[in-house]
Copies of this chain bind each other. A is one copy, B any other.
Amino acid sequence: MSTLGLIAGGGELPRAVAEAARAAGREVFVVPLTGSISENWVTDFPHEFHSPGEPGRIIKALKAAGAGEVLLAGKVDRPKFSEMKLDAKGMLLLPKAMAAAKKGDDALLRFIVGICEDEGLKAVSVAEAAPALVAGEGALGRITPGADHAADIRQAFKVVHTLGALDVGQAAVVCEGLTLSVEAAEGTDAMLARIGTLRESLRGTPARKRGVLVKALKPTQDAKTDMPVVGVQTVRNAAAVFLAGIAVEAGAALILDKAAVAAEADRLGLFVTGTRP
């Protein structure tokens, strides 16, 4: 198998991908995107920093490393084009990139991956590069959703899919039929945190956990660039606002460290489950 070229933004995902691919015996070459990544795990891998405005240099580095497949993973800030470092190819493609950025973050990510594909690199999904991270069907820990949670899970999937079609967000919390919180630009952590500000009659309490977090792929996204991610911190954040559990679509979401997520879910008393909606 050729070297995996990993264009890495911020957050835990790119590291998990790199480590899972290496654990499966594969060479990994990382291009951390300047401005989007602050983690220092990349020093464990051969790597070369570039700005998102340097597609020419990114592709050259990936090819020099023998990468036949490329994957973009992690959070990429919508760049300030006026401050971005540009190479010749970047200048040439800038008008198209700015047009893509105006259509939303997804369009920009698809654009960056598209440039690599035009240069003969094969774009792969996280599921292909690191299948160990993909959510399976059923509960991860010992706690399983009850019959009373099924309706909330269905409703939350409906909200997230509907919003996703408008490129708004990937996550929502529903509690006994009422949509408590919906993600837009603030991200899942902030979206979860505000559940705690709602009055107690609407949400769970330490004595009685209620409500379900659902994270799902936007219908406008393909699995290559932005599968939803659940990690240990997601479990802690959901527990902190007394949710009953977390549901994702089996086969279409990533669990960053399944053993650790299962253990933390058991310890904190909530379910983490993969469903087929």
- Interface set of A (CB-CB < 8 Å, partner B): 77-78, 80, 102-105, 155, 158-159, 162-163, 165-169, 172-173, 176-186, 190, 194, 197-199, 201-202
Contacts and interface: CB of A to CB of B under 8 A. Distances in A.
Contact of A181 (B166, B180, B185): B185
Contacts of A190: 194, 197
Number of copies: 2
A194 B186 contact: yes
Minimum-distance CB pairs A-B, first 9: A168-B179, A180-B185, A182-B184, A182-B182, A179-B184, A181-B184, A102-B177, A159-B166, A80-B201
Contacts of A180: 184-186
Q: Chain A binding site: helix, strand, loop or mixed by DSSP?
A: mixed
Contacts of A165: 162
B177 A181 contact: no
A105 B178 contact: yes
B77 A201 contact: yes
A182 B194 contact: no
Contacts of A179: 166-169, 184-185
Nearest to A158: B166
A178 B167 CA distance: 8
23 contacts: A78-B201, A78-B202, A80-B201, A105-B178, A159-B163, A159-B168, A162-B162, A163-B163, A163-B182, A167-B179, A168-B179, A168-B182, A169-B179, A172-B184, A173-B184, A179-B184, A179-B185, A180-B185, A180-B186, A182-B184, A185-B198, A185-B202, A186-B194
A10 to B, nearest CB: 12
